[in-house]
Structure 1
């Protein structure tokens, strides 16, 4: 490779001689050249290096190559990176040679306190309906019978179970009555009650093995595994989970699905497959667990009804307020087939030990008064606007990258060219962004990868900070001419047929 001169960004304003020569990949050659510049004193401690995009342009390298080189030198201790301060030569380095001594396990490149939280799963905390919630609490406490302040019923308060039965039937097409609803503290608690808790304590009413979607939340799989339940991954495509694999020799007793909005890839389970998985459960005596984690939030059409409505005796419906209201309100629910109710109640115990009775009474009033519907409609508009802003920004500034899946939920998946996911996550950390790549959600035994992508949660940032978060995200994305970490061209077509639906 030829020698190159780099003009450092302000406030340095001087030239840097970087000799790109010798064996190895472009990334390795650049790392070696920058190390030599520090060793030889041409880059003194505290010297600010140019942004990786500027250095890439000056040297004719791929941006991800430079970002990876910077990250490696930060991990080794030659450089430091702080939000707002840029990348600098670490204090303590000298012409004598080595960087300052540090722990063998390098610190992660991601800043400890990111400026922009774009991780999935958390609603806009500032939008919690404080005034309406307080009014509901006052009404609920004023109307509560004296016995409500005694030991709690493990089923949950009858007021909440009645309100949930009415709401879920109307809004999600769930077929049930209050006697088949058991209140819990959230989805994870519901799983532990069904499968017997940590390491199979209590036995559980369900047994494994269980099929799960090949991409999903790892801690849900861990709950099953800790309960002694082996999980088997199901493939995904544009039709949703490949439920036909259940009849193809998997030998599982049940399946856990996110049919309204597959997490995290974003597609729905299509009608034919919804019918097929219910038929499989009926024929073989299996059970379907339906995680309806954000079923109310669909933006391009009316939400699809719950899978449970097809067969209430074969489908366990689980929901919570962690996405619709706040994870701080520790309330969820299970709508159970009749034959599972007694077993779940036995697992829960004689008294309510998890879900606050006062919060149950408040949520019951909040739903019955119509405030919950009004809050959902308000948040649906807000989250749709935020998703649309990402889609519009991509179309204008990064048209080679698309937000895939249906227009729904609190997150979007940005499809990336193959081979660029790890570098894009790393580049995001340099921009002060906390987010995850698709690979973070892949089942360890999944055989068919869903391709490269970023899982971008658009619900968490405050409204006034959202524009800056989107701009930082755009800076972290690989450009159209940077299709791999080493600069080589790749095919940027979509993987597994997962494509854009809606806006």
Structure 2
């Protein structure tokens, strides 16, 4: 099929392969390319665009990894498809890019903590000093500092490919705090689907608001969309890096989820808790980019920097933002501005971008060390090359408990899959986190994990 003109800016900071993948994804989402259309070969497209074949091959690899395209041996590369456009609210135009405490001595390999060893402490101190320069606030702010919302917009555009406007952004206290706020805007007793296994703090926040939580299974392609029950008010999910299994929601299921949300009239709560942290391909596009009319996107600084900031963001349809602001007005809830100011200062002179590059390198090396230890013990691991945890499947709950207890006896705190279920556990295994310990402690912890896995049931 003949492609429409694809513009690549050779003077831009973004690599040509990333620009090309974005352009192909855009013409797919816009309907110019349809499901089943065959893409040109990498050689043909390279000749047409006047770039090297390395560029086109990398762009195709990205689309294949995301599931937007599929390769067929001997036939070529074909488009998977894209959803229809929003029925009422058009997507905003893309703006131009602006110039748990544990015992002392115990090594924790639990997930959910940031990698402080990658943080440049000099940059961190500069950000706190700069955050203290403005005069103290004299009144409450339910929306969030304008500078913080602008910094979030730049961050989302550069690192998550989401075009937003500062007016669309609300500051939050982090992802879980935002889930709690969204939950309180839904009718009492409303039905909300959650991933099973999944993030139990989000489940608790939904239940605390008086909502009915319905677990929905997750497999290697993420949330099983066809298993969603009828009559839902919302679906909570972690599509970029499912917590705790580590899978990503396939492109086909992303499209199906957005279309189902539009058809059934429910809200998709997209928790992008560590979506910036991928090591194999570029971060995957957000559900909010596919369905800005039905998706509430949540982000947080907790995994990128530290929970110390207590800062996050919400990008959602106008009615959802209005409902959250109404709740804040009635209850007096306000996002804390100190963390917002530090985030702004940290991002102002490129320290945030440098930190993200350093963090990705550090976590990629740590993940490789985890994989080596697990494989040396004769086990497999699951989960994308992303984030800060992996899953080590185990045959049953008894094996899971045996391995955890054996590691605890040797001073290493491991996490089991059992506690990540809202109902009766359907799978067993270890959820190995590798961000928290300093390198020397990580090596000691992995040596113990390797030993107990090798001796435990397989």
Tell me the equivalent position of 1:278: 258
Task: Give matches, 1:123-142, under 5 Å.
Answer: 123-142=114-133
Q: Over residues 111-162 of structure 1, what are the superposed CA-to-partner deviations in whole Å (9 max), with x where a residue is unaligned?
A: 95452111111112344333112223444544x4x5x622132100000001
Task: Give matches, 1:103-502, under 5 Å.
Answer: 112-113=103-104, 115-142=106-133, 144=134, 149-196=137-184, 204=186, 208-246=190-228, 249-349=229-329, 354-395=334-375, 397-399=376-378, 401-418=379-396, 419-444=398-423, 449=426, 451-479=427-455, 483=457
Q: Over residues 362-415 of structure 1, what are the superposed CA-to-partner deviations in whole Å (9 max), with x where a residue is unaligned?
A: 2113223221111111111111111101112233x312x112111111111112
Question: Does the CA contact (< 8 Å) of 1:312 and 1:337 recur in 2?
Answer: yes
What is the rounded CA distance, in whole Å, between the counterparts of 1:378 and 1:437 in structure 2? 29
Q: Which TM-score applies when normalising by structure 2?
A: 0.73
Change (3 A) 1:361 1:206: farther
Question: Does the CA contact (< 8 Å) of 1:152 and 1:351 recur in 2?
Answer: no
SS in 2 for 1:436: coil
Question: Does the CA contact (< 8 Å) of 2:389 and 2:431 recur in 1?
Answer: yes
What is the rounded CA distance, in whole Å, between the counterparts of 2:348 and 2:256 in structure 1? 35
Q: CA RMSD in A?
A: 2.2
Question: Does the CA contact (< 8 Å) of 1:117 and 1:460 recur in 2?
Answer: yes
Question: How far is the alpha carbon of 1:205 from its aligned partner?
Answer: 7.2
What is the rounded CA distance, in whole Å, between the counterparts of 1:350 and 1:127 in structure 2? 40
Question: Does the CA contact (< 8 Å) of 1:204 and 1:347 recur in 2?
Answer: no
* Bigger Cα displacement from structure 2, 207-216 vs 354-363: 354-363
Q: Over residues 445-501 of structure 1, what are the superposed CA-to-partner deviations in whole Å (9 max), with x where a residue is unaligned?
A: 67xx1x32101111111122221111111122143xx63xxxxxxxx6xxxxxxxxx
Task: Give matches, 1:78-97, under 5 Å.
Answer: none
What is the rounded CA distance, in whole Å, between the counterparts of 2:419 and 2:356 in structure 1? 29
Question: How far is the alpha carbon of 1:350 from its aligned partner?
Answer: 7.8
SS in 1 for 2:141: coil
SS in 1 for 2:278: coil
Tell me the equivalent position of 2:65: none
What is the rounded CA distance, in whole Å, between the counterparts of 1:166 and 1:205 in structure 2? 34
* Bigger Cα displacement from structure 2, 153-162 vs 342-351: 342-351
Q: Which TM-score applies when normalising by structure 1?
A: 0.67
Contiguous gaps of at least 5 residues in structure 2 = 1-101
Larger CA Rg, structure 1 vs 2: 1
Contiguous gaps of at least 5 residues in structure 1 = 1-110, 197-202, 484-491, 493-503
Question: Does the CA contact (< 8 Å) of 1:421 and 1:453 recur in 2?
Answer: yes
Paired residues in the alignment total 356
